A = this chain, B = another copy of it.
Amino acid sequence: MLIKIQRHLLRSFYNMANERGIASSSAAYNKILTLDNMNPHIKNVQYAVRGPIVVRAGQLRKEVEEGAKKPFTEVISANIGDAHAMGQNSVTFLRQVVALCAYPELLKSNDFPSDAKERAKRLLGGCGGGSIGAYSASQGIEIVRNDAAAYIEKRDGGIPANPNDIFLCTGASDGVVAMLKLLVAGEGKNRTGVMIPIPQYPLYSATLSELDAHQISYYLDEDNNWALSIDELERSYNEAKKTCNPKVLCVINPGNPTGQVLSRDNIEKVIRFAVSKGLFIMADEVYQDNVYADGCSFHSFKKVLFSLGEEFSSNVELASFHSISKGYMGECGFRGGYMEAVNLHPGVKEELRKLVSCRLCPPVTGQVALDIVVNPPSPGQPSYEKFIAEKTKNLTDLADKAKLTAEMFNKIPGIKCNAVQGAMYSFPRITIPPKAIEAAKDAGEAPDSFYAMQLLEETGICVVPGSGFGQLPGTHHFRMTILPPKAKMDSLFKLFHDFHTKFTERYGGECGDK
């Protein structure tokens, strides 16, 4: 109140001064937009994947480049699933088609294979004025949506996909946010509740904060390789029922940050649970190409849903998401992805179309790149062999590194890592000595942030604290990508081992046997 009056007085003074042509002092001017009066829901948003530790990593990188003496020679950004930044090669055919579309003069060049040129011509034919500089339809270029539908059909063993159910987006994030925006409504106890896994990719918690929706946390079972248990879904649903209106169930499969791959049977149970409770299913399936572990394979929610009979396939509302940022292509910078929304109420689908039209269209180069992912070269085409070789190499490398990462972590006393069955991350559990927990508390930090910041300062390795994803209270983790180059893995884990040992000793902990 005092502040308000003061501000009013100051402004009046300022106006008077202005009217009299006198420049009032700068101190008299209060900011209009402040931390106190800004949107509180935005203020509540947390997004650790690019949080303070990552900012500090950027500073350290600059310092190292400028010759500052550090206990390490380079900063290793293992915080984010950004394959190209860690040296993964792009897929030639994809990039050729993008270049041809960007500069169609190249269609005359002899340096491009005929199938890349044909693809570029076909895609340009689907663009307004034959240019990727034109807006596309808000839902995405029709040709690309058709190709995405064909891809889904093939992936799911022939279950039909309707191009009208497909919405291309600015990365999968964009689709997730759009769908949640539609779903969140109501006040007080009627406010929409959204069930999300814990640990989760923080886009979900951030979006729920922004929308002021009710986050319903269901915990994944770390002791069971991050399994998704139906009992835990029941528990969190029943508890949440008291305070909100649970309406959405989000599942990330393969898991981010947890790397588990759900079995077909597990997915069926999840679907039956969602149906029994009247929950809209959102399936984040951006890592569908990233399955490494023996005995695991990717099952789409849609395929499982459609295997349960017409009652399910004709009715159950499901939105699933895919992206070109992950998989074997790792084209994060293009911001391409799609959402397939089945069984949406026709009116709601129109509302979704309206909503996405306000932002005009997803980036067209991202749509072009997506087309290659959903419609890769076929056997016999000039680019086929090279495409397969590049895809296989990238996926094999990732599989090797997934295995290696868990193995190496498990060699460090005080660190315990589940198998990385899929996706691009390890999420090891760390033992933090009680004295370190106290020290973190004194510093006003979460214990795992405290740990991760010291790790960064002492080794140059940038990881994201587990608290940024959520974890069972009292447990501590971090997320590290499996993306660092194989050649650097040995030295990276040596640095990690030494750091963890020193950290433990520093705070009087015991490393224990391994």
Contacts and interface: CB of A to CB of B under 8 A. Distances in A.
A393 interface: no
A101 B129 CA distance: 23
Contact of A347 (B34, B275, B345, B358): B34
A279 to B, nearest CB: 7
A358 B207 contact: yes
A183 interface: yes
A7 to B, nearest CB: 8
Given A96-B103, A131-B84, A358-B47, A276 B332 contact: no
Contacts of A210: 181, 358
A206 to B, nearest CB: 5
A31 B317 contact: yes
Contact of A334 (B25, B39, B354, B363): B363
A11 B309 CA distance: 17
Contacts of A45: 354-355, 358
B133 A33 contact: no
Contacts of A247: 32-33
Contacts of A131: 84-85, 90, 333
A462 interface: no
A134 B332 CA distance: 5
Contacts of A272: 18
A210 B86 CA distance: 38
Given A95-B102, A365-B334, A170 B173 contact: no
A272 B330 CA distance: 49
A99 interface: yes
A210 B351 CA distance: 12
A270 interface: no
A184 B365 contact: no
Contacts of A92: 105
Contact of A102 (B98, B183, B185, B325): B98
A25 B357 CA distance: 36
Contacts of A344: 31, 33
Interface string A154-174: 000000000000000011011
A425 interface: no
A24 interface: yes
B309 A84 contact: no
A200 B86 CA distance: 45
Contact of A275 (B18, B181, B183): B18
B82 A134 contact: yes
Contact of A364 (B43, B181, B280, B333): B333
27 contacts: A23-B310, A24-B311, A29-B316, A33-B280, A33-B348, A42-B181, A42-B355, A47-B357, A58-B137, A83-B133, A84-B131, A98-B102, A98-B103, A99-B99, A102-B102, A131-B333, A132-B333, A132-B334, A133-B331, A173-B358, A174-B359, A177-B359, A210-B358, A332-B361, A333-B364, A334-B365, A335-B362
Interface of A: 11, 14-15, 18, 23-26, 29, 31-35, 37-40, 42-43, 45, 47, 49-51, 58, 77, 80, 82-88, 90, 92, 95-96, 98-100, 102-103, 105-106, 109, 111, 127-129, 131-138, 170-171, 173-174, 177, 181-186, 202-203, 206-207, 210, 247, 272, 275-276, 278-280, 309-311, 314-317, 325, 329-335, 343-345, 347-348, 351, 354-355, 357-366
